[in-house]
Amino acid sequence: MTIGTGGKYRGVKAVSAGAAEQTLTVNSEWHQRIDGEGAIDVLLPAEAAGLSVFITNTADGAEALTVKDDSDTNTIVVIDQNQSALLHCNGTTWEASGVTES
């Protein structure tokens, strides 16, 4: 299942990023469980109405995920260890609707 539109709220992918930037696409799974093995950036897909993604930071230490838009310039949210965030796109802007403890 993909990020996509139309209520596709299934599909989980566990990622061990190895301190490498992660780039999501509209074909990425909706729930991303990311262990960056260090603080890393996560780039969202290009803006399109109705996109959403749920990201969980599964790091084993105090390593933050900095979630940015596809231009790699605008930070949307920083997700600390054991936190999750739900992100939505209105067609022009990505927004985080909440950050929770995992």
Mean pLDDT, consecutive 10-residue stretches, the chain (102 aa), reads 47 65 90 89 95 93 95 96 95 90 67
Q: Report the CATH number at residue 41.
A: 2.60.120
Tell me if 85 is assigned to some domain. yes
Tell me if 96 is assigned to some domain. yes
Least Cα distance to 22 among 3, 39, 10 occurs for: 39
Tell me if 3 is assigned to some domain. no
Tell me if 87 is assigned to some domain. yes
Tell me if 74 is assigned to some domain. yes
- What confidence score (pLDDT) does residue 7 get? 45
Those residues whose C-beta lies under 8 Å from the C-beta of residue 2, and which sit 6 or more positions away, are 8, 11, 26, 27, 28, 29, 30
Domain with 46, as residue range(s), is: 12-101
E-assigned strand segments in 1-102: 12-16, 22-23, 31-35, 40-43, 52-57, 65-68, 75-79, 83-89, 94-101
For the chain, the domain total comes to 1
- What confidence score (pLDDT) does residue 15 get? 67
- 3, exposed or middle or buried, with CB in 10 Å at 0-12, 13-18, 19+? buried
Residue where the block lists tokens 């929770």: 100
Tell me if 78 is assigned to some domain. yes
Query: Model-level pTM greater than 0.75?
Result: yes
Tell me if 2 is assigned to some domain. no
Tell me if 80 is assigned to some domain. yes
- What confidence score (pLDDT) does residue 8 get? 46
